[in-house]
Amino acid sequence: MLADLPSEAITELARAAGPETGSLLQAVEVRHAGGEMRRSRPGNGALAAVDAEYGLHAVGMAATPQAAQAVGYGVVAVMSAMAPWAAGQTYLNFTETSRDSRGFFAPQAYERLRRIKAAADPADLIRANHPIPPARPAPVSAPARDQAVLRHAG
């Protein structure tokens, strides 16, 4: 996700993925994401809004391990070139590589999802492309644990 797209960003994108680069990327897209996607409203869910003006996507086909590596290098080149304009948030759709799921949600939404996961799936059996680990109870201090054992024993 991109916070902004000034002319310098477009120049850098062309340098990273233009035809003279020899990149095996088949497509690099910049999509407008501002407007309604930026408006958070009650009831919009865990991902209530995306705090970015644009979405950036780079893709390629990988028929061989060597092609997969070359496509990966192309994606890294594009992302590195666009890093100065990156928004703080990542968007779930089109994110095919493993990422820390905290980057998809506002901190309070992420922690709520962790609590829900702990209540609904404490063994963490349900998996996804971008897993959210269940919240773990805070560790109990030794004196509090000892008191609890004494209460149950007596």
Contact 68, 42 (CB under 8 A): no
pLDDT per residue as tens digits for the range 97-146 = 777 888 788 788 889 889 989 999 988 888 777 888 888 865 555 555 55
Contact partners, residue 3, CB within 8 Å, separation at least 6: 52, 53, 85, 86, 87, 88
Q: Are residues 54 and 30 in the same domain?
A: yes
Share of the chain above pLDDT 90, in %: 38
- 23 and 77, same domain (yes or no): yes
Query: Model pTM?
Result: 0.69
Q: Is there a single domain that holds both residue 82 and residue 138?
A: no
Q: Is there a single domain that holds both residue 77 and residue 133?
A: no
Q: Residue type at 141?
A: S
The structure tokens listed for 50 are: 């995306």
Yes or no: say if 46 and 112 are a contact pair by the CB < 8 Å rule.
yes
Q: Over range 9-18, report the average pLDDT.
A: 95
- Is residue 113 located within the same domain as residue 144? yes
| Cα–Cα distance, 121 to 96 (Å, whole number) | 24
Of 97, 118, 133, which residue sits at a domain end? 97
Structural domain harbouring 104: 100-154
Residues 116 and 146 in one domain: yes
Statement to judge: residues 13 and 88 lie in one domain: yes
Residue 56 sits in the same domain as residue 89: yes
User: Is there a single domain that holds both residue 130 and residue 93?
Assistant: no
Q: Has residue 85 got a pLDDT over 80? A: yes
What is the number of structural domains in the chain? Answer: 2
pLDDT higher than 60, residue 151: no
